[in-house]
Amino acid sequence: MPIDFHSKANRYTYAGRRADPSWKAAIQEIVDVRGKDVLDVGCGGGIYCRAFAEMGAKRVTGIDFSKEMIRAAQEKSKDYPQIAFFVGDALDTRLPGSQYDVILERALIHHVTDLEACFREAYRLLKPQGVFIVQSRTLKNILQPPNEHHIRGYFFEVYPKLVDKEAGRRPDSQTVKETLLKAGFRTVDEKELCETRKIYSDLEELKKDLSARTGRSILHELTDPELERLIQHISERLRQRCTKEIIEQDYWTVWAAKKA
C-alpha cells in the first residue's frame, strides 16, 4: 500500500540524509541562494532546507502537509536558526505572497492532484524575478538501467508492475513545461541531474536502508515478502561488483522557471 506520510512510524524516513555536494552544485548553477529567502514546498524532514542554509540562504522556510515530517525536520534542524517549518498544503500554503526569491519543489509533484494549482501557488509566493525549481523523475529517468550506482533501477527490473505505478503518477517533461507556462511563468529551462543520494560503507548498510524503505515511497507498494525478494536480488547483483563502499545515485529532471 502507499506510504502513510502521517504515520509516526515514518517520521524520519525523509530526515536522516544530507544533501550531496552534487545537488548543491547543480542548484548553484541555476541560482545563487546566498542572502536569499528560500521556500522548500514538500520539505519532508528538512534535508534540503538544511542544505540551503549551508549554501548561505538568509532565511529558509519548509512546509509539508505531514505533522510527523515537520516534527522530524524541526528536531534535525535545531542548530539552524535561519530555518522555520510549517504544516501546510502545496496547493494552498496560506503563506503571504511575493515573499520568496527561490522556491524548491523536490520529489513532490508526483504526489500532487492538481499540478496547475500547485504551480500557480508557487507563482503567487515568488517575488518578481524569483526562481521556481521543480525536481522530479520522468519515466526516462526511472528506466535508466540498474547498476552498482543506480540501485533504484533494480526495483523495476524485478517488479515491472512498479513501472506502471510510476507511469500513472509521473508527468512527462512536456506536461511540466506547459503547466508552468499556464501558471504564469515566462521562461522554463530544463536539465538532467545525476544526484548522489547516499554513500554506504558496505552492502549490509544498503540492505538495512532498503529493508526500512527509507526515503523510497515506491517500496511501500511492495509486500514484505516482495521487498525481501528484491533485497536478495540486489545483494546477489552487487556482490559481484562491489567490494567496498557503494555510491548510490539517482537520475532526475530539473525545471527552472522565472517569474516575470
pLDDT at 240: 73
9 DSSP assignment: G
pLDDT category at 243 given cuts 50, 70, 90 is low
Q: What is the mean pLDDT of residues 191-204?
A: 95
Among the listed residues 81, 83, 89, the one whose alpha carbon sits nearest the alpha carbon of residue 63: 89
Side chain identity, residue 195: E
Q: What is the pLDDT of residue 142?
A: 95
Tens digit of each residue's pLDDT (9 = 90 or more) over 174-195: 999 999 999 999 999 999 999 9
SS3 78: coil
Cα(161)–Cα(76) distance, integer angstroms: 35
Q: Are 3 and 10 in contact (CB under 8 A)?
A: yes
The answer on pLDDT for 242 being more than 70 is: no
- Give the number of residues written for the chain: 260
Q: Is 215 left (phi over 0), alpha (psi -120 to 50) or beta?
A: left
Cβ-contact 49, 40 below 8 angstroms? yes
Q: Which of 152, 245, 252, 146 is nearest to 195 (CA)?
A: 252
Mean pLDDT throughout 35-51? 98
Which domains are delineated in the chain?
Answer: 8-143+169-197+250-258 (3.40.50.150)
First to last CA, the chain: 41
Give me the percent of the chain exceeding a pLDDT of 70: 99
Residue 53: band (very low, low, confident or very high) from pLDDT cuts 50, 70, 90: very high
Predicted confidence at residue 4, as pLDDT, reads 87
Say what the pLDDT of residue 114 is.
Answer: 97
Q: Is residue 169 left, alpha or beta, with left meaning phi > 0 and alpha meaning psi from -120 to 50?
A: alpha
15-26 pLDDT per residue, tens: 999 999 999 999
Confidence (pTM): 0.96
Amino acid at position 2, single letter? P
User: Please, what is the Cα angle at 94 between 133 and 31, to 5 degrees?
Assistant: 20
Q: What pairing do the DSSP bridges indicate for beta strands 59-64 and 83-87?
A: parallel
Q: Distance between CA 153 and CA 139 in Å, rounded?
A: 11
- Hey, what's the cell of 184? 504564469
